[in-house]
Amino acid sequence: MTGPENTLHNALEPMLSRGSSATWAQLGKAALQHLGRDVPQNDVEVCRAMTADKSIGDVITAGVNSAIYAGFASEPDSTISWTVEMSAADFKESELFLLASGSRLERIPRGGTAPQTGFDFAGLTYRVGRFGAKFTLDAQDMVDGQHVGAVMFAVEQLGRAARRVRSDLVFSLILQNPVLPYDDTAMFHADHSNLGSAVLGSAGLSTGMAALGNATLSDDHGYPIHVNNGGALLVVPPDSAVASKALLHTLALGGSQDIALAVESRIGGAGLADPTDGTLRVGLSTNWLLAATRPSVPAVVVCALDGNFLPDVSRFSLEGDGRYGVGWAVKLDLAVVAASHDAVYWSSGTG
């Protein structure tokens, strides 16, 4: 914003905060006066003039955007450290290629040439989905004295809701335990050596860490290629939070060997609504997940349209049938893909 619009923004900024007690009519009067416009005598006409003015609308939208992004940034996300982000080109069914088997450099005989090698790739299909919500502020809300601060608080919650979409998608996928196309086996399975039932403790963690660390790719001869998945994040429901902190304190190894902790209610017994289809996926209060934070091949890939992982915010007007007002829509275009079993270990914790 430049010129008059910038000075208007500076003048209205204190009124466009979640702590503001100003009404929308008071905001409209202040804005119209600042711009040197005629100020109507009654609140109804003030609000109508405010919503019809593009300069005022742009400043209000800038305040709404700030509140939405503040909410988005403040919502915790326990998936960031162990998932990988990729860009998607469109909404069509797409294929993601990840390394299924690897290769190694072999000794070249004196005077010889490098031996031929190759890579096998796993093709994983996905489709980006659009997730969104909108918030409207109509004439009745404005004229009846709705506080600006209350609306800013509401749109901040909209930003927090947008941030939760990614975590909801990832943990819905984890709880679903999808079949991986490269071996037609569930992500967590005894054949993958990444599924157990041990109660959370030093023995169970040792098994999980061994599963992550011993994961290998295969070369052309079927021999193992050691990838040494690095880092570890322990994800537990709130029921196990205190015990987990105590356990990790006793197991503190120092430096990069330490296991980080994330307390995540989504894997517990309350249930999680899958954003893709509304299916309720329910875990257990004893579940725990161990994930490599520096994996050779990621367990989960999160794809966003054009690589944009931030919410897109747009403004729209309420018009017709004597109505007036303004609204804001928030959308995210995301998909999650189960890519590999090697970088995660799951236990029901039931013993």
Amino acid making up residue 39: V
Q: Which of 170, 195, 345 is nearest to 259 (CA)?
A: 345
What are the pLDDT digits (tens) for 129-186?
999 999 888 888 888 878 999 999 999 999 999 999 999 999 999 999 999 988 899 9
The sign of the dihedral angle between the CA atoms of 5, 8, 14, 19 is negative
Nearest-angstrom CA–CA distance, 290 and 179: 19
Where does the pLDDT of residue 253 fall: very low under 50, low under 70, confident under 90, or very high at 90 and above? low
Indicate whether this model's pTM tops 0.85. Answer: yes
336-350 average pLDDT score: 95
Output phi, psi for 312, to 5 deg. Answer: -100, 125
- Return the higher-pLDDT residue of 223 and 234: 234
What are the pLDDT digits (tens) for 22-32?
999 999 999 99
257-270 average pLDDT score: 93
Reply yes or no on whether the pLDDT at 285 is more than 80. yes
Where does the pLDDT of residue 119 fall: very low under 50, low under 70, confident under 90, or very high at 90 and above? low
Can you list the positions of beta strands (E) in the chain? Answer: 84-88, 94-101, 120-126, 129-138, 179-180, 185-186, 195-196, 216-218, 224-226, 233-236, 260-263, 272-273, 280-281, 288-291, 300-305, 312-320, 323-338, 344-347
Domain chopping of the chain, boundaries = 75-92+120-145+161-350
Nearest-angstrom CA–CA distance, 43 and 24: 9
86-100 average pLDDT score: 84
Which pair of structure tokens corresponds to residue 219? 């070369």
CATH 3.15.10 fits 75-92+120-145+161-350, yes or no: no
Reply yes or no on whether the pLDDT at 117 is more than 70. no
